């Protein structure tokens, strides 16, 4: 058993999941993986069963936060030293997991796979949102996180325990901001992400606006009032 | 709008916000669900601190007194919220039914597959 677990939340990813997981199995056998089928309505679950993948089959749809927590709980129960989230659509390359693990071994709690360490952000609406979040995190915590919305995050054993047991621990920038404020050590490692090959993005303009409002209010206001009694 | 109404609105809003923060601190409420209340409190405080907004809106809508506009606003927002909650509860119930059925079916299938488990259960029960 490896001490690194790759969690792959998948919701209606029948077109991608096989390619993503097969790539992982063939080229990166040194890592353990678990697919979290988040109550998909398409054939994602069927494919996982047929191919004999290691997967958690959630009977109902919980959303990304719920699927992520299910994966984290699995990592916690199985005693993994660190867990990393990779998207089910193949945007995140497992090639960078090694780099991130190396960084984590230097004593960090969270390692973020960042697209913008060496590269400038392109001028799109999406990046405007990213900049806003980066700014919000900087003024509330003092930490400069260049790619706050990156879904490619690696968590240490200590963090796994917290995420597994806590209530407001979604895999989102506001949780990262909160944890930084509470003294967690966060580092970023440069990665390259691919465009989606198949399927549509979840982020519609309305959802994006709602997401941004929620994140900003959460980071700027709510997280300041949270306490942490676990150590 | 009387000073009394304004102060009551401010007090209620501040009270609501404090209560919500307490719930979050104690891990009794999810952040997504708290946002509505924070937004709601914010609007009420805005109305109390800048009654000009209410006067203007009242004139636009045609309510007889500005205070009536506040009532209308609150009722309207709460009805929308109630509708959203109705939908959410329906979804939750559907999910719960799914889950319960799934557990029962899984158990049935498992019992069919390997009887030893069934026997063990009976042993521990007796």
Predicted complex ipTM: 0.78
Task: Determine whether the interchain pair B34/A222 forms a contact, defined as Cβ–Cβ distance below 8 Å.
Answer: yes
Residue at A230 is within a domain: no
Residue at A92 is within a domain: yes
Residue at A206 is within a domain: yes
Residue at A231 is within a domain: no
Q: Given a cut of 70, is residue B116 above it in pLDDT?
A: no
Given this model, what pLDDT does residue A124 score?
Answer: 81
Average pLDDT, chain B: 89
Joined tokens for residue A111:
């390692």
Residue at A202 is within a domain: yes
Given this model, what pLDDT does residue A89 score?
Answer: 85
Measured between CB atoms, does B34 come within 8 Å of chain A?
yes
Measured between CB atoms, does B35 come within 8 Å of chain A?
yes
| Residue carrying structure tokens 């991130």 | A100
Given this model, what pLDDT does residue B91 score?
Answer: 94
Contact between A71 and A83 under an 8 Å Cβ cutoff? The reply is: yes
Q: Given a cut of 90, is residue A194 above it in pLDDT?
A: no
Nearest partner of A92 among A114, A123, A68, A66, judged by Cα: A114
Measured between CB atoms, does B31 come within 8 Å of chain A?
yes
Least confident of A49-63, A150-164, A184-198: A184-198
Contact between A47 and A18 under an 8 Å Cβ cutoff? The reply is: yes
Contact between A66 and A119 under an 8 Å Cβ cutoff? The reply is: no
Total domain count, chain A: 1
Distances (CA, A) of A60 to A1, A105, B92: 29, 36, 10
B44-56 b/e (C-beta count within 10 Å ≥ 16 → b): bbebbeebeebee
Range of the domain at A140: 4-225
> What is the pLDDT averaged over residues A126-147?
92
Residues 6+ apart with CB under 8 A from A110: A153, A154, A155, A156, A159, A176, A179, A184, A185, A186, A187
Task: Determine whether the interchain pair B30/A174 forms a contact, defined as Cβ–Cβ distance below 8 Å.
Answer: no
Q: Given a cut of 60, is residue A231 above it in pLDDT?
A: no
Query: Per-residue pLDDT tens for A160-192?
Result: 999 999 889 999 999 999 999 999 999 999 999
Residue at A109 is within a domain: yes
Given this model, what pLDDT does residue A143 score?
Answer: 92
Residue at A147 is within a domain: yes
Residue at A103 is within a domain: yes
Given this model, what pLDDT does residue A200 score?
Answer: 57
Nearest partner of B10 among B79, B70, B90, B77, judged by Cα: B70
For residue A68, the domain's CATH number is 3.90.550.10
Given this model, what pLDDT does residue B96 score?
Answer: 95
């Amino acid at each position: 058993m490896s001490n690194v677990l790759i969690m792959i939340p998948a919701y209606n990813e029948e077109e991608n999941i096989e390619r993503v997981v097969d790539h992982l199995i063939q080229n990166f056998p040194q890592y353990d993986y678990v697919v979290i089928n988040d109550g998909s309505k398409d054939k994602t679950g069927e494919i996982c069963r047929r191919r004999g993948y290691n997967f958690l089959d959630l009977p109902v749809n919980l959303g990304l936060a719920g699927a992520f927590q299910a994966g984290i709980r699995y990592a916690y129960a199985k005693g993994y030293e660190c867990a990393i989230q990779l998207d089910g659509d193949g945007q995140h390359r497992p090639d960078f997991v090694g780099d991130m693990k190396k960084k984590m071994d230097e004593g960090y709690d969270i390692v973020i796979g960042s697209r913008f360490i060496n590269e400038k952000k392109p001028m799109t609406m999406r990046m405007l949102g990213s900049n806003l979040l980066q700014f919000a995190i900087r003024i509330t915590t003092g930490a400069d996180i260049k790619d706050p919305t990156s879904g490619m995050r690696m968590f240490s054993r200590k963090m796994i325990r917290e995420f597994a047991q806590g209530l407001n621990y979604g895999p989102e920038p506001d949780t990262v901001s909160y944890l930084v404020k509470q003294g967690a050590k966060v580092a970023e490692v440069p990665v390259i992400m691919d465009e989606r090959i198949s399927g549509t993005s979840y982020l519609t303009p309305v959802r994006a606006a709602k997401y941004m409002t929620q994140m900003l209010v959460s980071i700027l206001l709510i997280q300041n009032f949270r306490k942490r009694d676990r150590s | 709008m009387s000073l009394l109404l304004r102060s009551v609105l401010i007090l209620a809003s501040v009270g609501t916000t404090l209560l919500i923060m307490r719930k979050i601190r104690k891990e009794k409420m999810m952040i997504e669900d708290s946002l509505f209340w924070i937004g709601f409190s914010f609007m009420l405080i805005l109305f109390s601190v800048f009654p000009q907004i209410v006067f203007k809106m009242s004139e636009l809508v045609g309510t007889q007194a500005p205070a009536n506009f506040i009532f209308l606003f609150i009722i309207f927002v709460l009805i929308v919220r109630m509708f959203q909650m109705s939908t959410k509860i329906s979804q939750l119930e559907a999910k719960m039914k799914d889950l319960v059925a799934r557990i029962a079916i899984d158990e049935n299938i498992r019992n069919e597959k390997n009887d030893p488990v069934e026997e063990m259960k009976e042993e521990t029960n007796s």
